């Protein structure tokens, strides 16, 4: 390891070089309000295989600051990066890695002509390109209310930017940021604000870094002629043929996943990785970040494509939110499970369709394959603990650890609890609750051990919070599923794994035709099943709508998703007025009694 100084115009930049001289060069560029020390753990892990270069950008750490507080334009920062490459003797194209504002600089390097031929690849972490961002906003707004909501959500995340750009308010915010940042680092490190960070410079770095926002984002703040003319070789829509790897921290406070994925489309060779971490993923998960950078660089240098990198390449395809993801769905032979399998496959996922009826699951798989999707069949009874163990092991050994698991398999029993036998109780519990417990536990363990992003969806029901004298056993299992899911979400949050409960209302699915009615004569049971089936059909809420809600739950990492108006109304009543909720259930009971009375008369 050696430290050196590199001059870029009037600025001297502090540069640190580690690793093996005759290996490919990896250049690490930090963001605001960091220094190059934020890369220390990652650099140490890469130094055994590569030559690793990190430097303090102008105004940060041990590097000099420009006399003009607005001399932080991207063209000046590109000049600094070019000077660093020259100063360390980077004769071959380098592999660039940027975080936050360092990523913004990286995009400028690979989109424009100034450094063309000098960058072999770019790994971007939490720093979207300004052209991609503008395109994302336009397309999101045009797409309708949901897109507008995403843009407004990102605006809330970015509320600090106008503050940093404002005179005096920005300086006050920088002082507060430096103080809070310093305290957090001292608590964590028990030493200086950051290892290797020159003592006492954090406040100055935070103040200097305001120039990044004011020079590149503020309008009318720079004097006439200050901004450089656009690079004529720069793509207006941000296109680049340089291979790009996006590391998207799924818990980033400052950038939504939708925004951070805005490079899909303009980038020809895009690889997407989702990290179970927040904004400073390089500090919290250095092993993961170093492994992903290493796999990317070694492949581009002629090595084999690791399975994880192949997955990342599939995830980079435009218009495929779940491209390359492995999705496991139980109860996929019909109804909600079948519709969900189709929905994920249409978004580019690889689907494992499991069902106790293997023939039904096979039909789902054949339908997906006929539509050019990728799907595989597996027959399993979720009530069988050993069979579920074998299923989880088969998925891991054959396809890898799943990215998303949808525990959907379930049955329904209707009738008084007094008429529900031990056998019937054990059956509904073993499928509706134990099956979801096993799917959550077995695949959740695999996700935790892998140490990457993942998501588990458990299908509950509005019966979880709407008391019903006709379906007490079913409601009990679904209430348990909802509570189990809420607890599991809190447990797995520390690993960056999302967990969602989806609560449908009255859905037109085959489960109605398979519902067991206890305490009724056989003829009455058949007639009642037909009547309820007809009512569900008239309700007309298709399972495809539930499937869309499931995908939304995963995209937005929603804890609970209520599907249908009756599910939302029931949830609101259960919170605001449990008494009204029970009254509504009594009305339903009276209507049911009238139907049963009519059936008994017709049977007589």
**Do 307 and 352 fall into the same domain?**
no
Looking at residue 493, the DSSP 8-state letter turns out to be G
73-88 pLDDT, tens digit per residue, is 999 999 999 999 999 9
531: pLDDT confidence band, cut at 50, 70 and 90? low
Domain boundary among 284, 315, 346: 315
Q: Quick one: tokens of 237?
A: 């829509």
How many domains, in total, are found in the chain? 2
The residue among 12 and 185 whose pLDDT is bigger is 12
CATH number at residue 82: 3.40.50.1820
Domain boundary among 315, 343, 361: 315
**Do 239 and 338 fall into the same domain?**
no
**Do 496 and 429 fall into the same domain?**
yes
Q: Please report whether residue 556 resides in a domain.
A: yes
481-503 pLDDT, tens digit per residue, is 999 999 999 999 999 999 999 99
What is the structure's pLDDT at 523? 54
**Do 305 and 452 fall into the same domain?**
no
State yes or no: pLDDT of 32 exceeds 60. Answer: yes
What is the structure's pLDDT at 412? 86
**Do 339 and 280 fall into the same domain?**
no
**Do 304 and 378 fall into the same domain?**
no
532: pLDDT confidence band, cut at 50, 70 and 90? low
What percent of the chain has a predicted confidence (pLDDT) above 70?
85
546 in Cβ contact with 329 (< 8 Å): no
* Those residues with Cβ within 8 angstroms of residue 196's Cβ, 6 or more apart along the chain or in another chain: 35, 36, 37, 40
**Do 311 and 330 fall into the same domain?**
no
Question: In the predicted model, what is the mean pLDDT of residues 278-282?
Answer: 95
**Do 418 and 467 fall into the same domain?**
yes
524: pLDDT confidence band, cut at 50, 70 and 90? very low
The residue among 341 and 235 whose pLDDT is bigger is 341
Residues linked to residue 500 through DSSP beta bridges, in sequence order: 457
Looking at residue 57, the DSSP 8-state letter turns out to be P
pTM given for the model:
0.84
**Do 300 and 441 fall into the same domain?**
no
Residues that are catalytic = 474
502 in Cβ contact with 457 (< 8 Å): yes
508 in Cβ contact with 537 (< 8 Å): yes
Q: Please report whether residue 422 resides in a domain.
A: yes
**Do 345 and 289 fall into the same domain?**
no
Residue 106 belongs to domain spanning: 2-158+233-315
Q: Please report whether residue 488 resides in a domain.
A: yes
**105/558 Cα distance (integer angstroms):** 33
Question: In the predicted model, what is the mean pLDDT of residues 248-262?
Answer: 93
Q: Please report whether residue 167 resides in a domain.
A: no
H-run or E-run covering 119: strand 119-125
What is the structure's pLDDT at 583? 76
Q: Quick one: tokens of 358?
A: 């293997």
Question: In the predicted model, what is the mean pLDDT of residues 464-472?
Answer: 83
CATH number at residue 471: 3.40.50.720
What is the structure's pLDDT at 414? 80
Q: Please report whether residue 194 resides in a domain.
A: no
HEC-encoded secondary structure of 405-462: EEECCCCCEECCHHHCCHHHHHHHHHHHHHHHHHHHHHHHHHHHHHCCCEEEEEECCH
**Do 32 and 140 fall into the same domain?**
yes
| Rg of the chain (C-alpha set) | 28
**Among the listed ranges 64-78, 104-118, 536-550, which one has the minimum average pLDDT value?**
536-550
State yes or no: pLDDT of 41 exceeds 70. Answer: yes
Domain boundary among 260, 291, 315: 315
Four-point Cα dihedral 115, 119, 123, 128, nearest 10:
20
Of 123, 128, 115, 104, the residue nearest 42 (C-alpha)? 123
**Do 330 and 311 fall into the same domain?**
no
């Amino acid at each position: 390891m050696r430290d050196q100084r590199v001059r870029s115009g009037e600025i001297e930049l502090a540069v640190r070089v580690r690793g093996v001289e005759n290996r490919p060069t990896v250049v690490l560029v930090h963001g605001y309000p960091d220094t190059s020390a934020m890369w220390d753990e990652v650099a140490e892990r890469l130094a055994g295989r590569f030559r690793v270069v990190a430097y303090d950008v102008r105004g940060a750490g041990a590097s000099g600051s420009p006399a003009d507080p607005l001399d932080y334009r991207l063209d000046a920062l590109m000049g600094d990066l070019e000077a660093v490459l020259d100063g360390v003797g980077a004769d071959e194209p380098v592999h660039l890695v940027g975080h936050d504002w360092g990523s913004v600089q990286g995009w400028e390097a690979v989109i424009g002509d100034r450094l063309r031929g000098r960058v072999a690849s770019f790994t971007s972490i939490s720093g979207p390109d300004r052209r991609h961002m503008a395109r994302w906003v336009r397309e999101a707004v045009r797409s309708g209310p949901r897109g507008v909501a995403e843009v407004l959500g990102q605006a809330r995340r970015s509320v600090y930017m106008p503050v940093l750009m404002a005179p005096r308010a920005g300086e006050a915010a920088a002082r507060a940021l430096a103080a809070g940042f310093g305290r957090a680092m001292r608590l964590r490190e028990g030493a200086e604000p950051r290892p290797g960070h020159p003592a006492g410079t954090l406040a100055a770095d935070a103040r200097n870094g305001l120039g990044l926002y004011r020079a590149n984002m503020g309008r009318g703040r720079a004097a006439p002629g200050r901004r450089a003319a656009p690079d004529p070789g720069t793509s207006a829509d941000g296109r680049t043929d340089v291979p790009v790897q996006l590391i998207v921290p799924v818990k980033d406070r400052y950038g939504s996943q939708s925004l951070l994925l805005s490079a899909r489309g303009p980038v020809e060779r895009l690889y997407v990785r989702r990290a179970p971490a927040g904004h400073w993923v390089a500090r919290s998960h250095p092993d993961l970040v170093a492994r992903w950078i290493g796999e990317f660089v070694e492949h581009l240098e002629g090595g084999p494509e690791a399975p994880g990198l192949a997955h990342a390449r599939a995830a980079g395809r435009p218009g495929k939110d779940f491209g390359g993801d492995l999705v496991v769905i139980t109860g996929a032979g019909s109804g909600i499970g079948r519709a969900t399998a189709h929905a994920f496959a249409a978004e580019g996922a690889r689907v494992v369709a499991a069902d106790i009826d293997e023939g039904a699951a096979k039909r789902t798989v054949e339908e997906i394959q006929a539509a050019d999707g990728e799907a595989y069949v597996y027959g399993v009874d979720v009530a069988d603990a050993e069979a579920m163990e074998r299923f989880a092991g088969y998925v891991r050994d054959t396809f890898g650890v799943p990215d998303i698991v949808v525990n959907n398999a379930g049955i329904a029993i209707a009738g008084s609890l007094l008429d529900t036998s031990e056998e019937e109780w054990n059956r509904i519990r073993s499928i509706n609750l134990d099956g979801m417990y096993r799917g959550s536990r077995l695949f959740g363990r695999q996700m935790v051990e892998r140490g990457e992003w993942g998501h588990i969806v458990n299908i509950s029901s509005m019966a979880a919070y709407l008391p019903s004298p006709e379906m007490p056993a079913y409601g009990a299992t679904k209430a348990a599923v909802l509570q189990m899911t809420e607890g599991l979400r809190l447990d797995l949050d520390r690993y960056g794994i999302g967990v969602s409960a989806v609560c449908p209302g009255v859905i037109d699915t085959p489960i109605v035709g398979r519902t067991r009615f206890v305490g009724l004569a056989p003829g009455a049971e058949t007639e009642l099943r037909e009547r309820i089936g007809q009512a569900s059909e008239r309700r007309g809420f298709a399972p495809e709508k539930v499937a869309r809600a499931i995908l939304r739950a995963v995209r937005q990492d929603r804890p609970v998703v209520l599907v249908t108006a009756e599910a939302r109304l029931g949830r609101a009543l259960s919170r605001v007025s449990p008494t009204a909720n029970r009254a509504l259930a009594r009305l339903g009971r009276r209507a049911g009694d009238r139907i049963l009375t009519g059936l008994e008369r017709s049977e007589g």
